[in-house]
Amino acid sequence: MSQDLHQIGPSDDLKLQVERRGIGPPLLLLSGEEALESGAPFLDDLAKSYEIIIPSPPGFGLSTRPDWVTGPDDIAYMMIEIVDALSLRNVPVIGFSFGGWIAAEMATKDDSFISKLVLVDAYGIKTGKPTEREIADVWLLGADEVTALKWHDPTKGKRYFTSMPEDKLTIVARDRETFARFGWEPYLHNPKLKHRLHRIKVPTLLIWGENDGIVTPQYGEAYRKLIPGAKMAVIPQAGHLPHIEQPQAFLAEFDKFLG
């Protein structure tokens, strides 16, 4: 495993952390807002078949966060620059939750480097009326309520902050603050994205947890309908993070799609 900081663009105020692990053909992975993927067992399985490239968006991990970066629409261009810098071509791209939103934004701008696209319980769109809540308010609800909505088995969502070293806690706090900054207004979506998803021409699979109460499978189905030819797989006994709650079922769907 290696980690590097890559400068993006001509100014020196934007540097993104890029982690690489595993051996094999490259796979671009965009983590969720809590970055739980980096420590999850399913990633070790993927690393047996792929070199997994995990760039941290601005403000997450050790990546810098200039004031002029305002949301996933901006971040998508930065991730495409990472793709260019690493000369990635014909690679599968997988995005989880907030990272799924970024992946969708990227694909609407340039999908020429993507072989197949996988979106896992992604945010990013609003298809209902202005007064309808399609995404649970993770900042208004209490922590226990959010946990109950996010996990089929809430015990799997336990994080033991008291035992974390100071540097890890700092990153957790920074990730949460950045997620709120980028997702607060408009709430966890880009009003323009739903009008751009038709531009995605690569094979696309949406994987959703059957018990996701943050963005329900109905939300995922609305997402799927906006991407030409997209398919959807629903994982039983899983919430917002099916790759963590049901890793083998998740990997089975992923491997089947990638062939």
* pTM exceeds 0.85 for this model: yes
For 20, the 3-state DSSP assignment is strand
d(CA 153, CA 29): 25
- Whichever domain contains 186, its CATH number is 3.40.50.1820
DSSP per-residue codes, 195-230: GTGGG--S-EEEEEETT-SSS-HHHHHHHHHTSTT-
When divided into structural domains, the chain yields a total of 1
Give the per-residue pLDDT at 219: 97
pLDDT of res. 27:
98
Domain range holding 161? 2-258
E strand residue ranges, 68-203: 91-96, 114-120
**209 with 240: CB under 8 angstroms?**
yes
Residue whose token pair is 């969708």: 104
**pLDDT per residue rounded down to tens, the chain (259 residues):** 778 888 887 778 899 999 999 999 999 999 999 999 988 999 999 999 999 999 999 999 999 999 999 999 999 999 999 999 999 999 999 999 999 999 999 999 999 999 999 999 999 999 888 888 899 999 999 989 999 999 999 888 777 777 778 888 999 999 999 999 999 999 999 999 999 999 999 999 999 999 999 999 999 999 999 999 999 999 999 999 999 999 999 999 999 999 8
Model pLDDT, residue 44 = 94
Residue 217: its pLDDT value, please?
A: 98
Residue appearing with tokens 């930065």: 78
Of 151, 150, 182, nearest in space to 58 by CA: 182
At 233 the pLDDT is: 98
